[in-house]
Amino acid sequence: MPFVRGVVNFGGSMVAGVRAIFFSVEQLPEEEQAAQESKLDKWLESKFGKDEKGQKALMTLVTAFAIVISIGLFILLPTLIAGLLGKIITNHIWLTVAEGVIRVAIFLAYIILVGKTPDIQRVFRYHGAEHKTIFCYEAKLPLTVENVRIQRKEHPRCGTSFLFVVMIISILVFSVITWSNPLLRIVFRLLLLPVVVAISYEFNRLVGRYDNWLTRALSAPGRWIQNFTVYEPDDSMIEVAIAAMELVIPERAGDDEW
């Protein structure tokens, strides 16, 4: 079950994220939607339509595309680059480490570059509001702007930390592959990807469930990475985060325990 729930929850998170993006776009006034529509948007609308069935099909396509791009950018590309180093680095463990370093470098470059755009910076501020609100709720404090504002913005169960943990766990898991053939290395990495995701998910659950010197040390690298994706929010963003949080608080106490 631990291996199954990690992969299933990861897929669910991808679908929920895409659904949230679609929902947020739908909340724009029609004149703003029309102004922001690109040629691609109009082409997709002509192919899929605006009805519920068409939107579900489009959401499935977008989710699949996002997964393919993620695998290509963070799994296949580092493997191909590391394959070019095979003549220099003959030890497969060190080659795997080099591949992991390349993967982390690509990941950092990606989030830093994306974070330069104003729209994403605003998203990252809402990201901070989300974290602070969750901390406030977990501390069993009333969900007020004042109580949320003073909370930390780096959360151990953050998706950014999860992705960083995936990078590190992949180094350990992929080190068992001794094939030097680049194509075989890619095939086995894809086959082992669910294992990496499952282990990373359980790791995030572990460090999120307990608060002691060991879990804080284990989660420190992931929390540091959040400096690039979690910004300080303003009070209006905190109000939005509180409203969103209040809608998902379980009716029965304990249903949300990790």
124 falls within a domain? no
Domain count along the chain: 1
- What is the C-alpha separation between 78 and 99, in angstroms, rounded? 6
Is 56 inside a domain boundary? yes
Return the biggest CA–CA distance within the chain. 60
pTM of the predicted protein model = 0.76
Tell me which residue range forms the domain holding 218: 2-114+154-229
- From 125, 79, 156, 145, select the one nearest 233 (Cα to Cα): 125
User: Is residue 209 one of the residues assigned to a domain?
Assistant: yes
* 167 in any annotated domain: yes
Structural tokens at position 203: 């790791």
Tens digit of each residue's pLDDT, the chain (258 residues) = 777 888 888 888 877 877 887 787 677 666 555 555 556 666 666 766 666 676 677 777 877 888 888 888 888 888 888 878 877 887 878 888 888 899 889 999 999 999 999 989 999 999 999 999 999 999 999 999 999 999 999 998 888 888 888 888 888 888 887 766 777 878 888 888 888 889 988 888 888 888 888 888 888 888 899 999 999 999 999 999 999 999 999 887 777 776
Does residue 141 form part of some domain?
Answer: no
Element (H, E) at 10: helix 2-26
Tokens of 173: 């898991």
In a domain, 121, yes or no: no
Per the domain annotation, does 253 fall within a domain? no
Asked, for residue 135, whether it belongs to a domain, the answer is no
